[in-house]
Amino acid sequence: MTSESLARSVVDSLVGRGLNDVEVFLKSGRSRRFEIGPQGRVASSSQEEGWAVRAGSDRASLFVAGTGRPALDGPWPDPDGLPLRLPPAARVPPWRPPADLEAPLSGETEAIRLLEAIEKGVSSELAGTRLLRGLLDEGSSQTSILSSRGIEETYRSRAASLFVEMAGPWPGAQTVGIAMARRELRSFHAPTIARRFVDRLLLQGEGESPERDRGEFLLGPALGVRLLVALLPLTVGGGSGAMVRALRDRQGRIGSELLTVTDDGRYRGGVLEAPVDGEGRPTGESVVIGEGRFHQSLVGWKEATRSDLVASGCVRRASWRDLPKVGPSHLFLAPNPEVKVATLLTAVARGYYLIDTQGSGQFDLEQDRFQLPVCGFALRQGRAAAPLAGAWLTGSISSWLRGIQGVARDLEFEPWSGMIGSPTTLVTGLELRRSP
């Protein structure tokens, strides 16, 4: 019996037991993992297969998940708790699967070569630097969703992730870690990653912080990403009304006209690109903030039916074990394709180019304030004047949003809860401090 026909039989069987709404989720895939670290070199390969069933009547519901394939006779526990309503089928716009789905997963030699190239690239500029841990994961999978409400979708995905942790050669050096995700392991560019490490490590070793300073801030993609991550309570879920009202100015804007934030489950070339979301609803582009004005947060089908919001096709499952949950797929601050980073850089007469964060920092949406440890360079007349590290970028979140004066074209995504992306931005109205 094929997986799809088995799923159909499970749906029919549970409907026959009085559960009106039944959904079967199937996922299978292969993955490879390569690691260099204290445990030597580890090469792992996994074949994974799992399923999940959500089912309910108008009185109670259940969720069961397991490895392998579901059995017709369960065992199914007695439904409990709240009733369950599943989304109805909707027309799914045509989707062209990415060409790289057919590409084979990378081998051990290729993966180890990449990690060694990163280490070599860093060591050649900064002798004595140590690679503490390098981790590469790559996998491909097939997902099927079938429900008693007419949903029947199957699609394939692939993703690769990299995590590297290094330490500088000087005593008391703290670790520097970089996490990235792409569709293919072959997309990771060792010299670029090595460059980023060299910058971070050098800044950690040589940078200093002013006691307190203001000016123009050129914020690298990593900082824009961190801001968007902090804004997730505002951009995800329908309960963000009070937070939005608190951030609005007299013109009804929450940010500069250059601030447009979009989520797109079909982002071309994106790690999470898919035709449907975790409930089988069509994905697409949703504008959360357009030219500084808040449009609407990302909501699922159920929340949209209870309000005047539009469902965004943004319900995701972290794995087959997990329940679907509203979340971003590719949430990003829209870049300006006309503007190079260099153009913004040369425009800074006196300020700072902050290239990375040095910790998670603290963002308080209710109190409208943040503190973020950062590193980068002091800028004078568009040129790097001194290395900067151990500094805290501080201010109000609303000042950050309203202070965006320029947006470049270098959009970069980072793996957080979904892929979060930002280009370099030019911001005013913030402050640097030596201590938070």
Partner 1 sequence: MSGLDATAVARCLSQMADHGDDLADAYFERLEEVEYPAADEEPGIRVRREEGFAIRLVRGGRTWLAARDQIAATEFGEALRQVARAQPSAPYPEPTLDRAPFPPLEDTSCLARFPTLVTRAIRRQLAAFPMRLRVRRHRRWIRVIGTQLAPEPQSESFYSCDVDLPWGRFGVLTPDLSAATVERLATSLTTLFRAQEAPRVEPTACRVVLGPHAAAVLLHEVVAHALETDTLMMGGRVESALGLQLGGPLLNVLDDPTNAPESVRRSSDDEGMIAARRWLLREGVVEQPLADLFSARHSKALMPGAARRGNRHRSPAPRSTHLELLPGESSMDDLFAEADGGLYFPEVSSGRLDPLSGRFTISLPYGKRIKAGSLGELLGPCRLRGTVSGLLSGIDAVGRDLESAGAGWCAKNGLKLPVWASSPAVRIGAAEVES
Q: Which residues bind partner 1 (CB under 8 A)?
A: 31, 33, 35, 37-50, 54-56, 60-68, 75, 77-84, 132-133, 167, 172-175, 321, 323
Q: Pick from 279, 283, 281, 258: which is nearest to 268 by CA?
A: 283
Q: Which is nearer to partner 1, 19 or 407 (CB)?
A: 19
Least gap, CB of 312 to partner 1 (angstroms): 20
- Map tokens 């293919």 to a residue: 184
Residue with Cβ nearer partner 1 (65 or 309):
65
Alpha-carbon 47 to chain mean position = 25
Q: By C-beta, is 83 or 337 nearer to partner 1?
A: 83
CB of 31 to partner 1, least distance (A): 8
Nearer to partner 1, 38 or 252 (CB): 38
Answer whether 29's CB lies under 8 Å from 134's CB. no
Nearer to partner 1, 16 or 68 (CB): 68
State the nearest-atom distance from the C-beta of 161 to partner 1, in Å.
11
Neighbouring-strand partners of residue 108: none
Which class for 288: exposed (0-12), middle (13-18), buried (19 or more C-beta within 10 A)?
buried
The smaller minimum CB distance to partner 1, of residues 28 and 424, is found at 28
Nearer to partner 1, 151 or 404 (CB): 151
Q: How far is the CB of 243 from partner 1 (least distance, A)?
A: 14
Nearest distance from C-beta of residue 53 to partner 1, angstroms: 10
* Smaller CB separation from partner 1, 31 or 144: 31
Cα→Cα distances 364→233, 242, 287, Å: 11, 14, 24
Residues 6+ apart with CB under 8 A from 62: 19, 53, 54, 55, 56, 76, 77, 78, 79, 80
Least distance in angstroms from the C-beta of 85 to partner 1: 9
What whole-number distance in Å separates Cα of residue 333 and Cα of residue 292?
A: 11
User: In angstroms, what is the minimal distance from the CB of 202 to partner 1?
Assistant: 17
Distance, CA of 180 to CA of 380 (rounded, Å): 31
Please check whether residue 419 is in contact with residue 328, taking contact to mean a CB–CB distance below 8 angstroms: yes
The residue written with tokens 């202070």 in the block is: 403
Helices assigned H by DSSP within 296-358: 301-305, 341-346
Distances (CA, A) of 75 to 13, 53, 66, 70, 389: 12, 12, 11, 9, 57
C-beta closer to partner 1: residue 43 or 103: 43
Considering the complex, state which of residue 119 and residue 273 has its C-beta at the smaller distance from partner 1: 119
CB 94 to partner 1: min, Å: 32
Least Å distance, CB 177 to partner 1, is 11
SS3 category, 431:
strand
Q: Are 296 and 308 in contact, with CB atoms under 8 Å apart?
A: no
User: CB under 8 Å to 2, separation ≥6 — which residues?
Assistant: none
Tokens of 138: 């790559």
Least distance in angstroms from the C-beta of 101 to partner 1 = 21
Q: Which of 292, 106, 248 is nearest to 185 (CA)?
A: 106
- Residue 164, phi-psi category: left (phi > 0), alpha (psi -120 to 50), beta (remainder): beta
